[in-house]
Amino acid sequence: TQLLEQSPQFLSIQEGENLTVYCNSSSVFSSLQWYRQEPGEGPVLLVTVVTGGEVKKLKRLTFQFGDARKDSSLHITAAQPGDTGLYLCAGVEPSGRNTPLVFGKGTRLSVIA
């Protein structure tokens, strides 16, 4: 099973600040997904990136897939308290392997008003 390392593990920032969290692996994935999990709820899919170098934007969130498809980043601009949660990245292994998603341990973000 391929591993995904997420950093930082914890992040506490003030409202209005920008931040970037990272998801890294030594292995190639056919795609990467980002989820947000709020307390008491299950993870919810935010985005899927498929092509190396791809950048996707979701309002104030910008997701990038590394050129080699081994890593990804999530940048949040002007963070708000509603962004608080656990951000998980999950990798889809290259086609031909029937293995479900591999999750990183997540970055726990706290945005203070």
CB of 90 to other proteins, least distance (A): 8
CB of 47 to other proteins, least distance (A): 11
> Which of 44, 112 has the CB closer to other proteins?
44
CB of 92 to other proteins, least distance (A): 5
Question: Would you state the structure tokens that stand for residue 103, as one six-digit string?
Answer: 């999750």
CB 20 within 8 A of CB 8: no
> Which of 3, 112 has the CB closer to other proteins?
3
Residues that bind other proteins (CB under 8 A): 1, 30-31, 40-45, 48, 88, 92-93, 95, 97-106
> Which of 32, 61 has the CB closer to other proteins?
32
User: For the chain, how big is the Rg over CA atoms in Å?
Assistant: 14
CB of 50 to other proteins, least distance (A): 8
Give 10-62 as a DSSP string: EEEEETT--EEEEEE-SS--SEEEEEEE-TTS--EEEEEE-STT-EEEETTEE
For the chain, the maximum distance between any two Cα atoms, rounded to a whole number of angstroms, is: 46
